[in-house]
Amino acid sequence: MVPPLVLDIDGTLTDADGHLDPRAFEVLPAWDAPVILATGKAFPYPVSLCHYLGLPQTVIAENGGVVLADGEVTFTGDREAAQAAADEFVARGGDLGWDAADTANRWRETEIIARLNADEALLRAVADEFDVEVIDTGFAYHIKTPGVEKGVGLERVCETMDYDPEDFVAVGDSVNDASTFRVAGRSYAVANADDVAKEAADTVLDRSYMDGTLSVLDSLREEDAA
């Protein structure tokens, strides 16, 4: 049997331009074990992706702040604290970088994000004052509750499944995947991963983005067939 998967989205199931690789529609629906999408994106994104991929809606969103498993949604991040820090950041002259629609944050339940061209020093200083943290995922600055992580989300999902976290194979590319790598049985960082993810992973792949992810899935299928 192939193992269950926990997969990041951006940088892992996408190409270098951030577009979903169409090969995901070929391999993931056919995977003969659970597939969990674990992302820093707002909650609706992985839910929607599961729908279009034809996967059960089991997701870890907003860096572990929101978990959907077995038809139940749980929240662990504090959106109000993150919003208060973001508001103070703007009040002191900072700019989150989004337009009036702010689709980056509009549907977030547990955190706030800013573009990478935001004033990082000011953002981190304000975050410290509000007892929240800032992580740089390479796609945005995430203002979030300390201790809320994808790895904790995976442990919560496993409470509803006949699997333990160490049964899972994880693939990712960013600092926010390191906690998943620590609890999963096997972990792979794609070649485009940041240094934190590479250090936390069991294996650093030679290939980037979806090419790297597919190389893992191919090897797992070969193991299963052996």
Q: Mind telling me the catalytic residues?
A: 8
Known binder of ligand: residue 8? yes
Burial of 52 from C-beta contacts in 10 A (0-12 / 13-18 / 19+): exposed
Known binder of ligand: residue 177? yes
Known binder of ligand: residue 10? yes
What's the CA gap between 140 and 18, in Å, rounded? 13
E-strand spans in the chain? 5-7, 35-38, 59-61, 66-69, 72-75, 112-114, 133-136, 141-144, 169-172, 186-189, 203-204
Q: Which of 6, 15, 104 is nearest to 55 (CA)?
A: 6
Strands 186-189 and 169-172: parallel
Residue showing tokens 């139940």? 72
What's the CA gap between 166 and 122, in Å, rounded? 39
Confirm if 207 and 177 have CB atoms less than 8 A apart. no
Known binder of ligand: residue 150? yes
| Binding-site entries for substrate | 150
Which residues are annotated binding-site positions? Answer: 8, 10, 150, 173, 177
Instruction: Indicate the annotated binding residues for Mg(2+).
Output: 8, 10, 173, 177
